[in-house]
Homo-oligomer: A and B are copies of this chain.
Amino acid sequence: MSGRTPEGDALTALVLPAFALNGEFLAAAAMITAPHELTPAQWQVLGAVLDGPLPVSEIARRIGLTRQSVQRVANDVAGRGWAEWSDNPRHRRAKLLVPTERGREAIGAIVVEQQEWADAVGARFTAEDLRALTELAGRVVAASRAYRNATRTGPPSGPGADPGPAAARSGA
C-alpha cells in the first residue's frame, strides 16, 4: 500500500473511495428499510414487482442477481406477508410474485424516503459534480475490466447459458 507511482498512490485513490461509498450507501439503505421491517435485499426484490407480477428468474435478471439468491429472498418476502405467489397462466412452473397491499404500502414509503435521501445528498453537489462522479467511476470500471480481460489466463469463457451475474460479485 505504498505510494510509489507517478500518479500518487493509485491503489489507495481507487479502492478506498469505492469501499467508503459502498459502505455508506449500504448503511443508508439499511437505515431506510429497517423501520419498515424490510431488509435492503427484500426491498429490492419487492420493488421489482411493484409494476406487475414477475417470476423469480425475471426478477433476478432485472436486479442483477442469480435466480437462487432472488428465490430465497422472494420466499422470505412471501412468507412474511409482503407478497404472494400467483399462478402463471402461461407457465405451469413459473409462479408469479405479486406484492400484497401491505407490501405495496411499505415499498411506497421506502421509495419516498430513499428519494429524500438521494435528494438531500444530491443537493450538496452540482450537476457537474454528479456527472463527473458517474463518468469517473465508469472509466475506472472500464479500465479495471480491460485489465482483467487482458490478464485472465483461462479460455475466454464459452457461451454458457446460466452464468449471468457472476464475476462482478465473486468476492464478497
Contacts and interface: CB of A to CB of B under 8 A. Distances in A.
Contacts of A151: 31
A39 B172 CA distance: 10
Q: Is the interface of A mostly helix, strand, loop or mixed?
A: helix
A102 interface: no
Interface string A153-166: 10000000000000
Interface string A113-157: 011011111111111011111101111110111011001110000
State the oligomeric state as a number of copies: 2
A137 B21 contact: yes
User: Looking at chain A, what size class is its interface with the partner chain?
Assistant: 35 or more
Given A40-B171, A41-B172, A131 B13 contact: yes
Interface stretch (A4-12, A76-84, A89-97): A4-12
Contacts of A117: 144, 147
